[in-house]
Chain A
Amino acid sequence: MSGLAGVRFWRETKSRYNLTGNRCGVCGTVFFPPRPVCTRCHRESIGRMEEHKLKGTGEVLTWTFVHEPRPGFEIQVPYILAMVRLDEGPALLAQMVDCGPGEVRIGTRVHSVFRKIGEEGKSGVIYYGYKFVPD
């Protein structure tokens, strides 16, 4: 793997580490990941998108137990992926950890934790970010 492989993920560190999204200064809609333009206000929102840190609390909209992983996720198989609706509004996709499939349901309240997401092999850069655990 190239030594530069991590750079495109490094760019998003702020959002990955601290769930930093943004908020439209015109209509107040919160976005995660942050968007350059509000999906409602379009041109009016340019220059008026404000950084907005999310609390990391929300509930499970849906989830799956992944048995056939992407390369790099083999050791975690089977792992839980969930779509989480954050309390501020936006939904995101993340892994759920420290729980078995019996502990996750649609509607389960969850909060974010800081975990290792992946790495560029054993000698490459390590990626950290959010995952979720049941409350």
Chain B
Amino acid sequence: MRDVMVVGTGITPFGELWEHSLRDLGIRAGMEAIRDAGITSSDIDALFVGNMAAGRLIDQTHIGALIADFAGLAGRNLPTVTIEGADASGAAALHHAYLSVASGLHDCVVVGGAEKMTDLPDPEVTEITATALDQQWESFFGATLFSMYAMMARRHMHEFGTTREQLARVAVKNHRNGALNPAAQFRRPVRPESVLEAAEVADPLGMLDCAPISDGAAAVVLCSAERARRLPGPQVRIAASAQAGDTLSLSSRRSLVGFDATSVAMERALKLAGRSRKEVDFAEVHDVTTISEIMAIEDLGFVKKGAGGPATASGMTAPGGELPVNTSGGLKARGHPLGATGIAQIIELVLQLQGKAEERQVPEARVGLAHNVGGCGATAFVHILEVA
């Protein structure tokens, strides 16, 4: 396996992008990444696209081919593939793109994530995101993605005394971070009281505990280290790309207060990167709900199980804290266009590691971690990126 570098990034704003179709967004992010990398489209060997649900959201499958075509690359007969791992599709696409370059099969690839969610009414989107759960034994009985996290939140509160206020602190922090991110869907802070008073979604979680419905796309260009030497710009290396899985249904799991898939993916990633947790300077984690971030910092081993709530309340994960988490605003404030999220996380890592994160820059960021979860924890990816 050879070293793989991220040499270019491109991202659309996330949000309700009424004027733009999925293909517009995908192409825009991809073109920007190519331009940023300082390469031309003729340098690209393959296109990988992470997308969860275009087949249901916009009745379109074959997203890789669609984007390659409208990016004008069809004439090159470029290989493309769409990769699905629920809302970890972005990280899944990155993982496979990484493997293709690391293995030597490809030298330079574009990997994007895109989702167009606002073409359907909210209840239908709720149904579609719930397809990531076990359709026959969970969704069928009325489960939604957020209801699963709500049940985990209640159990977490029961076992560890985690409070509603501690959950709210996650949303407050991520909104504050999102306010500093030009690509974020919500660029405004929220007060803790607003989180507590927001309309209920699935109690104990309210509207402001949950990631929004978003449109958006993000793309990065990956190159082999040799190829990257010929390119300008500060270089960022993918030190680890790791995945772990678990049972599809939450009811079959060992634990209702965390994801084993996250813990295992983390161990694998640390081993691949040859690094320890202490060396990680900041992280983007899958805060699809506020409890998700609390469980993530526990499952990733940054705090012990059950200590995520108090750690958040203490400011450990805030900017300037011991481990800044979701400086981009996270899924909560940056937005969560399902398949795009995993790539958007990587872009935040790259910007931070290149020192280009402006107002939200983590000082002396050398090692960053991205954690992307599919559905309710049946799939987890951990990527570790570092300054080359």
Binding site for B on A (CB under 8 A): 8-9, 12, 33, 39, 61-71, 73-74, 76, 78-79, 81-83, 90-95, 101, 106, 117-118, 127, 129
B142 close to A66 (CB less than 8 A)? yes
25 CB contacts below 8 A, A to B, read A33-B136, A33-B137, A39-B252, A61-B256, A62-B158, A62-B256, A63-B151, A64-B150, A64-B154, A66-B144, A66-B150, A67-B201, A68-B122, A69-B123, A69-B126, A70-B139, A81-B143, A82-B151, A83-B251, A90-B252, A92-B251, A93-B137, A93-B138, A94-B141, A117-B142
Q: Measured between C-beta atoms, what is the minimum distance from A131 to chain B in Å?
A: 8
C-alpha gap A52/B200 in the complex (Å): 39
A-B residue pair count with CB separations less than 8 angstroms: 104
* Interchain CA distance A106-B154 in the complex, whole Å: 9
B160 within 8 A of A: no
Q: Report which B residues bind A (CB closer than 8 A).
A: 122-124, 126-127, 130, 136-144, 146-147, 150-152, 154-155, 158, 199-205, 249-252, 256
Q: Verify B142–A70 contact, CB threshold 8 A.
A: yes
- A126 vs B233: C-alpha distance when bound (angstroms): 61
Known A-B contacts: A71-B123, A118-B142. Give 19 more (CB < 8 A). Answer: A9-B140, A33-B136, A39-B252, A63-B151, A64-B151, A64-B203, A66-B142, A69-B123, A69-B142, A71-B124, A78-B200, A81-B151, A81-B202, A82-B151, A83-B250, A83-B251, A83-B256, A90-B251, A117-B140
B142's partner among A12, A81, A83 (CB-CB below 8 A) is A81
Q: Find chain B residues with CB under 8 A from A95 CB.
A: 141-142
Residues of B within 8 A of A117 (CB): 140-142
Q: In the complex, what distance in Å separates the CA atom of A63 from the CA atom of B155?
A: 8
Residues of B contacting A: mostly: helix
Is B127 touching A91 in the complex (CB atoms < 8 A)?
A: no
- From known contacts A64-B202, A81-B142, A117-B140, infer whether A70 and B126 are also in contact, taking CB-CB under 8 Å: yes
- B211: shortest Cβ distance to chain A, in Å? 13
Contact residues in A for B203 (Cβ distance below 8 Å): 64-65, 67, 101
Q: For residue B122, which residues in chain A have a CB less than 8 angstroms away from its CB? A: 68
Contacts of A101 in B (CB 8 A): 203
Q: A68, B256: Cβ atoms under 8 Å?
A: no
Which chain A residues lie closer than 8 Å to B250 at the CB level? Answer: 83, 93
Which residues of chain A come closer than 8 Å to B136, judged between CB atoms?
8-9, 12, 33
Is B130 in contact with A70, judged by CB distance below 8 angstroms?
A: yes
Q: Tell me which residues across on chain A come within 8 A of B204, comparing CB atoms.
A: 64
Q: Are B141 and A81 in contact, with the CB atoms below 8 A? A: yes
Picked from A62, A66, A73, A129, the residue with its CB within 8 Å of the CB of B152 is A62
Q: How far is the CA of A101 from the CA of B150 in the complex (A)?
A: 14
Question: Contact at B155–A93, with CB atoms within 8 Å?
Answer: no
Q: Chain A residues near B200 (CB, 8 Å)?
A: 65, 67, 78
* Complex A-B, nearest 5 residue pairs according to Cβ-Cβ distance, in ascending order: A64-B150, A62-B155, A91-B251, A62-B151, A67-B200
**Distance of B49 from chain A, by nearest CB (Å):** 27
Point out the residues of chain B lying under 8 angstroms from A76, CB to CB: 142
Residue ID in chain A nearest B126 by CB atoms: A70
Task: Collect the chain B residues with CB atoms within 8 Å of residue A74's CB.
Answer: 123
Nearest Cβ on chain B to A61's Cβ, whole angstroms: 6
CA distance A58 to B137 in the complex (A): 17
Docked-complex contact B202 and A68, CB < 8 angstroms: yes
The CA-CA distance from A93 to B144 in the complex, in Å, is 12
CB pair A79 B142 closer than 8 Å: yes
Residue of B nearest to A91 (CB): B251
Query: Within 8 Å CB of A73, what residues of B?
Result: 142
Q: Which residue on chain B has the smallest CB distance to residue A94?
A: B141
Partner of B158 from A12, A66, A106 at Cβ < 8 Å: A106
Min C-beta distance of A106 to chain B, whole Å: 5
The distance in angstroms between the C-alpha atoms of A33 and B146, with both chains bound, is: 22
The answer to whether A68 and B251 touch across the interface, beta carbons within 8 angstroms, is no
The reply to whether B249 and A93 form a contact with Cβ atoms under 8 Å apart is yes
How far does the alpha carbon of A67 sit from the alpha carbon of B147 in the complex, in Å?
Answer: 9
Q: Across the interface, which residues of A come within 8 angstroms of B158, CB to CB?
A: 62, 106
A62, A63, A65, A91: the one within 8 Å of B252 (CB): A91
Contact B144 A68 (CB under 8 A): yes
The interface residues of chain A lying within 8 Å CB-to-CB of B201 are 67-68
Q: What are the residues of chain B within 8 A of A8 when measuring CB–CB? A: 136
Chain B residues whose C-beta falls within 8 Å of the C-beta of A65 in the assembled complex: 200, 202-203
Asked, given contacts A33-B136, A61-B155, whether A66 binds B202 with beta carbons under 8 Å apart, the answer is yes
B141 and A68 contacting across the interface, CB-CB below 8 Å:
no
Instruction: Give CA–CA (A67, B206) in the complex, Å.
Output: 9
Residues of A within 8 A of B147 (CB): 64, 66, 81
> A94 to B143, alpha carbons, bound, how many Å?
8
CB distance from B178 to the nearest CB of A (A): 22
Give the distance in Å from the alpha carbon of A1 to the alpha carbon of B24 in the complex.
31
Smallest CB gap from B127: residue in A: A70
